[in-house]
């Protein structure tokens, strides 16, 4: 019975700890999980859930560019193919 009580106490304290951490983090003017901050985010972090990329040849070099940027620069994708890169929203990455 003491072991179960210990596990329940630890579980409860972890939940309270996370609650207090996010409560005080939410008092900031800009929420930390609203943008992809370089301190905790990686290359997969994006405000949009799916980023559409496309292979483009510029100056003899093939590079991957954001599809919206390709359209704005009036370029065309090689073989008309788009690559959909899976991303994570900032709030999901902040939790991890």
Confidence at residue 64, expressed as pLDDT on a 0 to 100 scale: 72
Q: Which domain holds residue 54?
A: 1-94
Per DSSP, the three-state class of 29 is coil
Domain count, the chain: 1
> Which of 82 and 36 is assigned the larger pLDDT?
36
Sheet holding 61-66: strands in order across?
A: 61-66, 50-58, 83-86
Report d(CA 94, CA 96) in Å as an integer. 5
Model-level pTM?
Answer: 0.51
What value does the CA radius of gyration of the chain take, rounded to a whole number of Å?
21
* Token reading at 81: 């193919």
Does 32 have pLDDT greater than 70?
Answer: yes
Asked if pLDDT for residue 31 goes beyond 80, the answer is yes
Strand-pair partners of 84: 52
- Per-residue pLDDT, 51: 64
Q: 59: pLDDT confidence band, cut at 50, 70 and 90?
A: confident
């Amino acid at each position: 019975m003491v072991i179960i009580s210990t596990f329940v106490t630890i579980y409860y304290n972890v939940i309270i700890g996370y609650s207090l951490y996010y409560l005080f983090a939410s008092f900031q003017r800009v929420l930390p999980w609203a943008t992809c901050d370089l301190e905790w985010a990686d290359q997969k972090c994006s405000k949009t859930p799916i980023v559409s990329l496309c292979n483009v040849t510029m100056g003899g070099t093939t590079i991957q560019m954001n599809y919206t940027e390709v359209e704005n620069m009036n370029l065309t994708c090689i073989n008309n193919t788009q690559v959909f890169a899976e991303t994570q929203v900032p709030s999901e990455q902040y939790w991890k």
